[in-house]
Amino acid sequence: MKTFAQTLDLVDDSSRIAEYDRHHERTWPEVVRGLRAIGIRRMRIWRTHTRLFMVYEAPDDFEPKRDYQTYAEDPRCGEWDRLMRSYQQRIPTADPDDGGWWTPMDKVFDLEEQEG
């Protein structure tokens, strides 16, 4: 399993942010199934004000740019994806040529690796 970390911003509107949070309290079952179907085993998203931070685990051969959006090929998952993007925006430092929506983050520290 590999671990991926990505970041994204929400539109700076407190009512829209509250809606986004509420959607994630009851994520559509098709989305959960769709993410599992593409190999994601664990996913967590944290938020501070408008900044989102997502960490997920996927198989070693998983490539986010190639594999992640395939879950949205399911019509209901595609609908969720479009809805979530209406709340989101790329971070100001995102590479426009990156091709992804979420911006990948580089690991700079791992406690377990330091102890190994």
Spell out the domains of the chain, with CATH numbers in brackets: 2-115 (3.30.70.1090)
pLDDT tens per residue, range 28-72: 999 999 999 999 999 999 999 999 999 999 999 999 989 999 999
Residue 67 DSSP SS3: helix
Task: Check residue 96 and give its pLDDT.
Answer: 83
Residue 99 has pLDDT above 80, yes or no: no
Residue 18 DSSP SS3: helix
DSSP code for 16: H
In terms of phi and psi (left: phi > 0; alpha: psi -120 to 50; beta: otherwise), the region of 49 is left
Could you give the CA distance from residue 96 to residue 93 in angstroms, rounded to a whole number?
9
Q: Which residues contact 91 (CB under 8 A, 6 or more apart)?
A: 7, 8, 9, 51, 103
Tokens read off for 78: 């595609």
Residue 100 has pLDDT above 90, yes or no: no
Centre a 10 Å sphere on the Cβ of residue 59 and count the other Cβ atoms it contains: 12
